[in-house]
Chains A and B, each alone.
Chain A
Amino acid sequence: MALLEIQDLHVEVAGKEILRGISLDVEAGKVHAIMGPNGSGKSTLSHVLAGRSGYDVTGGSVRYDGSDLLQMNADERARKGVFLAFQYPVEIPGVTTTTFLRQALNAGRRERGEPELDAMEFVKVIRRKTKELGITDDLLKRPVNVGFSGGEKKRNEILQMAILEPRLAVLDETDSGLDIDALKVVSDGINAQRSDDRGVLLITHYQRLLDYVVPDRVHVLAQGCIVKSGGKELALELEKSGYAEFLDAAAA
Chain B
Amino acid sequence: MDAKTTDSAPFLDRLEAVDTDQPDWAAALRRAGLAVYREEGLPHAKVEAWKYTRLDGLTRSAFEPGISAPDGITVPDGRIADMAGAHRLVFVNGCYRAELSDDGLADEGIEIVNLGKPGAAPGWVAEHMGRVLDLDGMPLAALNAALWGDGVAIKLADGAQLQKPLHLIFLAAASTPAMFQSRHLLIAGRDSRAAVIESHLGLEGAPTFSNSVVEMILEEDAVLDHAKLVDETEHAYHIAATALSLAGQARYNGFVLTLGGRVVRNETRVRLAAAGAECCLAGAYVADGEAHVDNTVFIDHAGPGAASRVVFKGVIGDTARGVFQGKTLVRQYAQKTDGHQLHKALLLSSGAEVNAKPELEIYADDVKCGHGATAAQLDEDMVFYLLARGIPEAQARQLLTEAFLGDVVDEIASPEIAAAMSAALTRRLAGINADHGA
Instruction: Determine whether A52 belongs to the interface, using a CB cutoff of 8 Å to chain B.
Output: yes
Instruction: Determine whether A58 belongs to the interface, using a CB cutoff of 8 Å to chain B.
Output: no
Contact of B438 among A73, A78, A108, A160 (CB under 8 A): A73
Distance in Å: Cβ of A2 to nearest Cβ of chain B: 22
Q: Are A104 and B390 interface neighbours, CB within 8 A?
A: yes
Contact of A73 among B385, B393, B400 (CB under 8 A): B393
With A and B bound together, what is the CA distance between A94 and B386 in angstroms?
A: 13
- Of the listed residues B381, B388, B396, the one surrounded by the most CB atoms of chain A closer than 10 A to its CB is B388
Q: Are B404 and A94 interface neighbours, CB within 8 A?
A: yes
In the complex, what residues of B have CB within 8 A of residue A120's CB? none
Contact of B391 among A53, A94, A103 (CB under 8 A): A103
In the complex, what residues of B have CB within 8 A of residue A92's CB? 382, 385-386, 400, 403
Q: Are B399 and A99 interface neighbours, CB within 8 A?
A: yes
Instruction: Determine whether B395 belongs to the interface, using a CB cutoff of 8 Å to chain A.
Output: yes
Query: Which residues of chain A (152-194) have a CB below 8 Å from chain B?
Result: 160, 164
Instruction: Determine whether A74 belongs to the interface, using a CB cutoff of 8 Å to chain B.
Output: yes
In the complex, what residues of A have CB within 8 A of residue B385's CB? 86, 89-90, 92, 144
With A and B bound together, what is the CA distance between A103 and B387 in angstroms?
A: 11
Distance in Å: Cβ of B319 to nearest Cβ of chain A: 24
Instruction: Determine whether B289 belongs to the interface, using a CB cutoff of 8 Å to chain A.
Output: no
Q: Are B403 and A93 interface neighbours, CB within 8 A?
A: yes
In the complex, what residues of A have CB within 8 A of residue B381's CB? 90
Known A73-B387, A73-B438; judge A94-B392 contact (CB<8 A).
no
In the complex, what residues of A have CB within 8 A of residue B395's CB? 103, 107
Q: Are B387 and A51 interface neighbours, CB within 8 A?
A: yes
In the complex, what residues of A have CB within 8 A of residue B387's CB? 51, 73-75, 78
Instruction: Determine whether B402 belongs to the interface, using a CB cutoff of 8 Å to chain A.
Output: yes
Instruction: Determine whether A50 belongs to the interface, using a CB cutoff of 8 Å to chain B.
Output: yes
Q: Are A94 and B403 interface neighbours, CB within 8 A?
A: yes
Q: Are A160 and B389 interface neighbours, CB within 8 A?
A: yes
In the complex, what residues of A have CB within 8 A of residue B402's CB? 94
Residue on B nearest A145 in the bound complex, by CB: B385
Q: Are B399 and A95 interface neighbours, CB within 8 A?
A: yes
In the complex, what residues of A have CB within 8 A of residue B389's CB? 78, 100, 104, 107, 160, 164
Distance in Å: Cβ of A54 to nearest Cβ of chain B: 9
Instruction: Determine whether B384 belongs to the interface, using a CB cutoff of 8 Å to chain A.
Output: yes
Distance in Å: Cβ of A80 to nearest Cβ of chain B: 8
With A and B bound together, what is the CA distance between A144 and B379 in angstroms?
A: 14
With A and B bound together, what is the CA distance between A92 and B391 in angstroms?
A: 14
Residue on A nearest B385 in the bound complex, by CB: A90
Instruction: Determine whether A45 belongs to the interface, using a CB cutoff of 8 Å to chain B.
Output: no
Distance in Å: Cβ of A242 to nearest Cβ of chain B: 32
Instruction: Determine whether A219 belongs to the interface, using a CB cutoff of 8 Å to chain B.
Output: no
Residue on B nearest A109 in the bound complex, by CB: B390
Distance in Å: Cβ of A156 to nearest Cβ of chain B: 11
Q: Are A90 and B407 interface neighbours, CB within 8 A?
A: no
Instruction: Determine whether B116 belongs to the interface, using a CB cutoff of 8 Å to chain A.
Output: no
With A and B bound together, what is the CA distance between A164 and B402 in angstroms?
A: 24
Known A92-B400, A103-B395, A103-B399; judge A84-B388 contact (CB<8 A).
yes
In the complex, what residues of A have CB within 8 A of residue B137's CB? none
Known A75-B438, A107-B395; judge A94-B407 contact (CB<8 A).
yes
Instruction: Determine whether A211 belongs to the interface, using a CB cutoff of 8 Å to chain B.
Output: no
In the complex, what residues of A have CB within 8 A of residue B404's CB? 94
Distance in Å: Cβ of B135 to nearest Cβ of chain A: 41
Instruction: Determine whether B406 belongs to the interface, using a CB cutoff of 8 Å to chain A.
Output: yes
Instruction: Determine whether A197 belongs to the interface, using a CB cutoff of 8 Å to chain B.
Output: no
Known A50-B388, A90-B382, A92-B385; judge A75-B393 contact (CB<8 A).
yes
In the complex, what residues of B have CB within 8 A of residue A78's CB? 387-390
Known A73-B438, A90-B381; judge A95-B400 contact (CB<8 A).
yes
Known A52-B384, A86-B385, A90-B382; judge A75-B403 contact (CB<8 A).
no
Contact of A100 among B379, B399, B407, B438 (CB under 8 A): B399
With A and B bound together, what is the CA distance between A100 and B403 in angstroms?
A: 11
In the complex, what residues of A have CB within 8 A of residue B406's CB? 94
**Contact code string A91-133 (vs B, CB < 8 Å = 1, else 0):** 0111100011001100110010000000000000000000000
Residue on A nearest B394 in the bound complex, by CB: A75
In the complex, what residues of B have CB within 8 A of residue A83's CB? 388
Q: Are A75 and B396 interface neighbours, CB within 8 A?
A: yes
- Of the listed residues B381, B390, B400, B404, the one surrounded by the most CB atoms of chain A closer than 10 A to its CB is B390
Instruction: Determine whether A17 belongs to the interface, using a CB cutoff of 8 Å to chain B.
Output: no
In the complex, what residues of B have CB within 8 A of residue A53's CB? 384
Query: Which residues of chain B (416-438) have a CB below 8 Å from chain A?
Result: 438
Distance in Å: Cβ of B393 to nearest Cβ of chain A: 6
Residue on A nearest B396 in the bound complex, by CB: A75
With A and B bound together, what is the CA distance between A75 and B387 in angstroms?
A: 4
In the complex, what residues of B have CB within 8 A of residue A108's CB? 390
Distance in Å: Cβ of A44 to nearest Cβ of chain B: 14
Residue on A nearest B407 in the bound complex, by CB: A94
With A and B bound together, what is the CA distance between A107 and B387 in angstroms?
A: 10
With A and B bound together, what is the CA distance between A158 and B396 in angstroms?
A: 21
Residue on B nearest A107 in the bound complex, by CB: B390
With A and B bound together, what is the CA distance between A108 and B385 in angstroms?
A: 15
In the complex, what residues of A have CB within 8 A of residue B390's CB? 75, 78-79, 104, 107-108, 111, 164
Instruction: Determine whether A65 belongs to the interface, using a CB cutoff of 8 Å to chain B.
Output: no
- Of the listed residues B389, B395, B404, B406, the one surrounded by the most CB atoms of chain A closer than 10 A to its CB is B389
Instruction: Determine whether A76 belongs to the interface, using a CB cutoff of 8 Å to chain B.
Output: yes
Known A75-B438, A86-B385; judge A107-B403 contact (CB<8 A).
no
In the complex, what residues of B have CB within 8 A of residue A107's CB? 389-392, 395
Residue on B nearest A74 in the bound complex, by CB: B387
With A and B bound together, what is the CA distance between A100 and B402 in angstroms?
A: 12
9 smallest A-B Cβ distances: which pairs?
Answer: A94-B403, A78-B390, A104-B389, A74-B387, A79-B390, A107-B390, A75-B387, A94-B406, A95-B403
Residues of A within 8 A of B (CB): 50-53, 73-76, 78-79, 83-84, 86, 89-90, 92-95, 99-100, 103-104, 107-108, 111, 143-144, 160, 164
Q: 17 new A-B pairs (CB below 8 Å) besides A50-B388, A104-B389?
A: A51-B387, A52-B388, A75-B393, A75-B396, A78-B388, A79-B390, A90-B381, A92-B382, A92-B403, A94-B402, A94-B407, A95-B400, A100-B389, A103-B395, A107-B389, A107-B392, A107-B395
Q: Please, could you name 8 A-B residue pairs with CB atoms under 8 Å apart, sorted by A?
A: A75-B396, A92-B403, A93-B403, A94-B400, A95-B403, A104-B390, A164-B389, A164-B390
